[in-house]
Chains A and B, each alone.
Chain A
Amino acid sequence: MRDFPLFPEQASTFAGPVDALYWTLVGLSLIFGGVLPFIILYLMVRYHRSQKADRTNQVHSSLPLELTWTVIPLVLVLAVFFWGAFLYIEIRNPPDRSLEIYVIGKQWMWHVQHPNGKRENNELHVPIGQPVRLVMTSQDVIHSFYIPAFRVKQDVLPGRYTTMWFEATEPGEYHLFCAEYCGTEHSLMVGRVVAMRMADYERWLTTPGEIILPDGSTGGAVASPLVGAIGDPMVLAGSQLFATGLGCASCHRNDGLGIGPNLEGIYGTEVRLDNGELVFADENYLRESILNPAAKVATGYANVMPTYDGQVSEDQMNQLLAYLKSLGAADAE
């Protein structure tokens, strides 16, 4: 047996804290789960019917005892709950300057697109020492993006975005698993995560590799007329869709005089709706407003936008989002 690990590798900033909490729990469990069986064993032997022992003055209930074994476990579980809660909040809140990578899951593969347009299948290259935020959706059923060495997992749902973030710490190759059962080849929906030093990652990003089409298939090594479009940086591809491909720009004008609202800087802000509610303009709101515009209409605008459901692929949706987010970023700087 050449390779027989008992503990998982630690390759992200979460791995250490999660393991620390885990081993604390193992330790606490040993106090209960390890000592209690020995108490039971002792009582089993000490008070076996063949043993002479004092069996007089039996007690059948005791409030102080009941309170003791209610309060002590309660305090302990609340302590580990709060410890875990703070760690959980950290795991769910990405830092502002995260690198965003888009992931599409489908039966039975992962398709990844990096901001500069580079695509890969069943692999994810990430830099170390840099927070990475994955924006993920599924084309069909529910999948789950799981990197054990990073201690992160997030279900990937059809029809909406879910996100997760991590910061890799050790260069290397790690397992990537689909953790939510998704059909026949669920156990083959696996791949690898390659963590690299930033310089290596940047070199990798700019090295042309195999041509991968938006549907995840590989187009062979020969350049096709499509290469220009599918290899474009996501923001550029998104801006072309916005300006001409889908014609969004004719209503969503950046001078504010259009039929629809100006979308510059909209991402990450709160939008007032015509019913007075405030919604947070995250990926899911933007997605819904493209596919089902009537669902949440910004105040001051008429409900006139046609639906783009069926006209925008998941891939194009990601590019549009990347573009809309870049509008905000340009303002901020």
Chain B
Amino acid sequence: MATTALPGHNYLQDDASTVGAWFKSWFLTVDHKRIALLYLLSINVFFLLGGLAATVIRVELITPQGDLLSADLYNRAFTLHGIIMVFFFLIPGTPAVLGNFLVPLMIGARDMAFPRLNLFSWYLYMAGGLFALTAAIFGGVDTGWTFYTPFSSTYANSNVILTIAGAFIMGFSSIATGVNFIVTIHTMRAPGMTWFRLPLFIWSSYATSLIIVLATPVVGITLLLVAIERIWGVGIFDPALGGDPLLFQHLFWFYSHPAVYIMILPGFGVISELIAAFSRKRVFGYEFIAFSSMAIALLGFLVWGHHMFVSGQSVYAGLVFSFLTMLVAIPSAIKIFNWTATLYKGSISYRTPMLYALGFMGLFVIGGLTGIFLGIVAIDIHVTDTYFVVAHFHYVMVGGAIMAYLGGIHYWWPKMTGRMYSEVWGGISALIIFVGFNMTFFPQFVVGYLGMPRRYHVYPEEFQVLHVLSSAGATILAIGFIIPIIYLTLSLWTGKEAGNNPWDATGLEWQVSSPPPTHNFLEIPVVTTEAYAYAPDAAEQDAANWRPGSPL
């Protein structure tokens, strides 16, 4: 019942005559675009599950007493929220969905370097997810997503092993994707696509993949060690068995701090694409944005100790990690300033993806700046393990990573599906998310500085007003997340045909039909221009052609 027919021979079409063949054409596909859609569906299901856990947490925290959930259930709820959101949504999110779809298209390739490995990584992701969900169904796990020892290895009476197995398997999925991206970007660029003609999304995906490949094995080994101590009682982390509890934290954060950049770097890439397209000009300071991604990837490996300022590490270690943490602020600031400069003399339109990009800039600034607070040890001593930290990383993860993910989904949705969604609803939900997000997480900075510790099921009464505010904001935020699911789904049937290039953007992905043909390019393109090669008068022309009634 499509209103208009989509162009023939696209990757979504099936010649399958039987249901079995149809299943095979999706679940055994090696087409990077179909795999991206498999990821899109599964990752969004996990996002909804994680969101459900968050809802339960926020409802419980409306009152200072523990009235909705028992302490045990509450602990399992925030653990589930953390594990699902970190391991099964944020880490794979942008790379596995947008990256899978876009990397070959953007560099002018017909697929990834290892298409079967790509499919395998989705199966690994699903297997990992299955373990984690099985653990949740059979009683859950109560260690927090951080699995701190010796609590996780010796004391917790919950499904630690099963959950760890899930995260462990999911790690291999990440590694497979990372290797695939690195090899693809190195070897499969179209003729003329030099490194400095690559879209910035590719630069950030490349930096992300390097982190994934170098850091993920460490967390795999670490989780394995926890399992070994838990099952066989080998003393690794528990001092009662002769182990060292801080060793776990060093190993865990050696991965998990870089993991933060696995979550946010692809988002940076998305934002660069959106700002250029909707300002109708080249990104300001292309090289600086590209190299700042690499700088963040490198520095990300040197700052894990800032999660351990009060853990008992030495004063010297604290000072060194604090100093290095300050340096991370610089490449992040460079990006924000360059994006802002891109707006200057552009012809800006407020289409849905751009609203997300602008929202991202506002929220990421707050997330980044509060990161400096936390990097200064004297302040971190007071606010670490309080809601200040919770607010900070939600500003980076939700305000940064998720805003960029949603912006990217809206930007490339016409390419993925061949159809446009409702701009009105798109704008409304972007606004709702922005307002709801700030209302949820800004009060948490205040209550955190007041001293409210995180992971508390019951809390002193004087914190209630701020918690109620936060829970009210979370309701608005939840509505903002549900609306896009509805109108994006509806657009599949009722959306206007998008055409090859609905945003009039540059980039190889916009030169093929929407949805793209199965093998992307009938003829491999030859690249002769830089990325974002908008004509010098593109912005001028765009503004001159604007008439009342044109899209805003």
Contacts and interface: CB of A to CB of B under 8 A. Distances in A.
A148 to B, nearest CB: 3
Contacts of A83: 376
Given A22-B373, A77-B330, A78-B326, A58 B536 contact: yes
B378 A33 contact: no
A47 B349 CA distance: 9
Interface stretch (B89-97, B183-191, B311-319, B418-426): B311-319
B345 to A, nearest CB: 5
A52 interface: yes
A3 interface: yes
A40 B148 contact: no
B381 to A, nearest CB: 5
B246 A157 contact: yes
Contact of A88 (B329, B361, B381, B459): B381
A85 B285 CA distance: 34
B340 A32 contact: no
A258 B259 CA distance: 55
A213 interface: no
Nearest to B354: A44
Interface residues of A, number: 87
B171 to A, nearest CB: 23
Given A61-B285, A88-B378, A187-B458, A157 B312 contact: yes
Nearest to B347: A49
B285 A92 contact: no
Contacts of B329: 73, 77
Interface stretch (A5-13, A117-125, A325-333): A5-13
Given A70-B334, A74-B330, A52 B543 contact: yes
Given A4-B462, A55-B540, A153 B385 contact: yes
A37 to B, nearest CB: 5
A140 B151 CA distance: 8
B334 A40 contact: no
Interface residues of B, number: 100
B181 interface: no
A73 B330 contact: yes
Interface stretch (B205-213, B276-284, B482-490): B276-284
B369 A84 contact: no
Contacts of B66: 187
Given A60-B282, A146-B451, A148-B382, A88 B315 contact: yes
Contacts of B348: 43-44, 47-49
Given A47-B348, A177-B453, A4 B465 contact: yes
Nearest to A185: B71
Interface in A216-243: none
Contacts of B146: 181
Interface in A58-85: 58-62, 65-66, 69-70, 73-74, 77-78, 80-81, 83-85
A87 interface: yes
A91 B375 CA distance: 16
Contacts of B451: 8, 146, 148-149, 175, 177
Contacts of A140: 150, 155
Name the residue among A3, A8, A43 with the largest chain B CB count within 10 angstroms: A43
Contact of B340 (A21, A36, A48, A89): A36
Nearest to B318: A88
B231 interface: no
A80 B543 contact: no
B240 interface: yes
B462 A3 contact: yes
B144 interface: yes
Interface stretch (A96-104, A127-135, A158-166): A158-166
A184 B345 CA distance: 57
Interface string B399-431: 000000000000000000000000000000000
A232 to B, nearest CB: 28
A43 B253 CA distance: 39
B236 to A, nearest CB: 13
A47 B156 contact: no
A317 interface: no
A184 B343 contact: no
A55 B347 contact: yes
Name the residue among A36, A55, A62, A179 with the largest chain B CB count within 10 angstroms: A55
Interface string B530-552: 00000011011011001010101
A53 interface: yes
B287 interface: yes
Given A141-B151, A177-B451, A91 B310 contact: no
Nearest to A31: B369
Interface in B207-250: 238-240, 245-246
B460 A175 contact: yes
A4 B462 CA distance: 5
B462 A21 contact: no
Given A6-B446, A61-B285, A84-B376, A54 B381 contact: no
A57 B337 CA distance: 20
A144 B310 contact: yes
9 contacts: A33-B369, A43-B343, A50-B552, A52-B543, A80-B372, A141-B148, A148-B386, A151-B382, A153-B384
Query: Ordered nearest first, which 8 A-B pairs have the shortest CB separation?
Result: A148-B451, A159-B239, A84-B376, A87-B378, A187-B456, A43-B343, A179-B385, A88-B377
